């Protein structure tokens, strides 16, 4: 991935893709003092760009550092890197981290870096996989408590749990993992939030120890606009047995149906299909929500 043509916005300048490099003694690499975003551009418009920039800055703040660019500057940098790439539909990856001046757990004075890459990424899951729904394994790693880690942050360190879980799921022939939280409640997939439908009502876990995804918030809005009841509540794994539809939401995953969790099977139903279509209309500007400016 590092060896390709293109450009990356790096600390205020556009640099050739292959030259966007950092030192091995980078604090962010050793101690995970690193936060990032994942977002999409559709028809030349970055979806909820300001919300992603705000979350990036907030994630850094939760890790005790300040990104030396304002929300407006981050937004402009994102537009610039897409412009240079000629990208109107794709994925953006802003990442901010502590640099390499000092090596050790404490590195308060290390420079804070920001880089933004973008590339074409039609769908997180292949179209075939998406229509069939994806298969999840129940992870043995759990989302930690909010007093164990800054769980509101989109922090690189928290993704160790996700990579472990997803790799194990893939080794067992599944596409992703479903993680429970420290209490045993259903939490989320490794890069997306989870929804289930039961008796025509939509249920989704309360995001009190994992990301309250921007897509999750958008999809709740879209569902309520359709007149569906959306309940945010804690529930255990066994409740998923009686669900009629399950789907995931995320900037990369968009709205993706789930066909299997452990030994339980599901089929994408009307609610999932409706929300997939509404989400597509919204991100492509065919639908406007007052709350999602
Ligand atoms: N949970 C995790 C662990 C994620 O990585 C993501 C993707 N950022 C989400 C949830 C969904 O968040 P969003 O809808 O803001 O992309």
How many other CB atoms are there within 10 angstroms of residue 186's CB atom? 22
**Residue 191 near ligand 1, beta carbon < 6 Å:** yes
Among 111, 154, 166, 198, the active-site one is 154
Q: Is 154 a catalytic residue?
A: yes
Q: How many residues does the chain have?
A: 293
Pairing of strands 201-204, 193-198: antiparallel
Q: Is the CB of 166 under 6 A from ligand 1?
A: no
ipTM > 0.90?
yes
Residue 130: what pLDDT? Answer: 77
Q: Rounded to the nearest whole angstrom, what is the distance from the C-alpha of residue 254 to the centroid of ligand 1?
A: 10
Atom of ligand 1 nearest to the CA of 162: 3
Residue 257 near residue 129 (C-beta atoms within 8 A): no
What burial letters (b/e) apply to 153-179, b meaning 16+ CB within 10 Å?
A: bbbbbbbebbeebbeebeeeebbbbbb
Q: Is 256 in the pocket of ligand 1 (CB under 6 A)?
A: no
Distance CA 1, CA 200 (A): 43
Q: Low-confidence residues of the chain, pLDDT below 50?
A: 293
**Helices and strands, counts by H and E, the chain:** 7, 16
- Phi, then psi, of 164 in degrees rounded to 5: -55, -45
Q: Hey, whose CA ends up nearest to atom 9 of ligand 1?
A: 192
Neighbours of 36 (CB within 10 A): 18
Cβ contact 14:80 at 8 Å:
yes
User: Residue 290: its pLDDT value, please?
Assistant: 77
Q: Is 250 in the pocket of ligand 1 (CB under 6 A)?
A: yes
Closest CA to 118 of 22, 251, 235, 210: 251
What is the whole-number distance in angstroms between the Cα of residue 173 and the centre of ligand 1? 23
Residue nearest to atom 3 of ligand 1 (CA): 191
Tell me phi and psi for residue 166, to 5 degrees: -70, -40
Q: Which domains does the chain have, with CATH numbers?
A: 7-119 (3.30.470.10), 127-283 (3.20.10.10)
What does each C-alpha distance from 125 to 85, 129, 191, 257 come to in angstroms?
23, 6, 12, 10
pLDDT of residue 123: 72
Q: What's 237's DSSP letter?
A: G
Say how far apart CA 24 and CA 28 lie, in whole Å. 10
Q: Which backbone phi and psi does 102 adopt, to 5 degrees?
A: -120, 145
| DSSP H helical ranges for the chain | 27-31, 49-62, 71-85, 127-132, 159-171, 214-225, 270-283
At 179 the pLDDT is: 98
Residue 193 Cβ inside 6 Å of ligand 1? The answer reads: yes
- Sign of the four-CA dihedral 67, 70, 73, 77: positive
Q: How far is the CA of 3 from the centre of ligand 1 (A)?
A: 27
Q: What is the pLDDT of residue 124?
A: 65
């Amino acid at each position: 991935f590092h060896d390709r043509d293109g450009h990356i916005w790096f600390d205020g300048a556009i640099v050739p893709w292959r030259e966007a490099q950092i030192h091995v003694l980078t604090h962010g690499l050793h101690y995970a003092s690193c936060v990032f975003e994942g977002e999409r551009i559709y028809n030349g418009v970055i979806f909820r760009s300001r919300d992603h920039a705000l979350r990036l800055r907030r994630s850094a703040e939760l890790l005790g550092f300040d990104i030396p660019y304002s929300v407006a500057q981050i937004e402009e940098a994102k537009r610039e890197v897409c412009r240079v790439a000629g990208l109107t539909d794709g994925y953006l990856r802003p990442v901010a981290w502590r640099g390499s001046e000092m090596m050790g757990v404490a590195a308060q004075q290390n420079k804070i870096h920001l880089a933004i890459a973008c590339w074409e990424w039609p769908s997180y899951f292949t179209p075939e996989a998406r229509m069939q729904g994806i298969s999840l394994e129940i992870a043995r790693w759990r989302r930690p408590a909010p007093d164990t880690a800054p769980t509101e942050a989109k922090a690189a360190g928290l993704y160790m749990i996700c990579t472990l879980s997803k790799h194990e799921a893939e080794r067992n022939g599944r596409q992703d993992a479903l993680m429970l939280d420290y209490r045993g409640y259903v939490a989320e997939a490794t890069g997306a939030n989870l929804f289930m439908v039961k008796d025509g009502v939509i249920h989704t876990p309360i995001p009190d120890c994992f990301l309250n995804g921007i897509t999750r918030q958008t999809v709740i809005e879209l569902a309520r606009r359709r007149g569906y009841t959306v309940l945010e509540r804690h529930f255990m794994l066994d409740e998923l047995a009686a669900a009629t539809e399950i789907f995931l939401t995320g900037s990369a995953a968009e709205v993706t149906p789930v066909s299997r969790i452990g030994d339980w099977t599901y089929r994408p139903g009307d609610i999932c299909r409706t929300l997939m279509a509404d989400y597509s209309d919204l991100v492509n500007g065919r639908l406007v929500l007052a709350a999602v400016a």
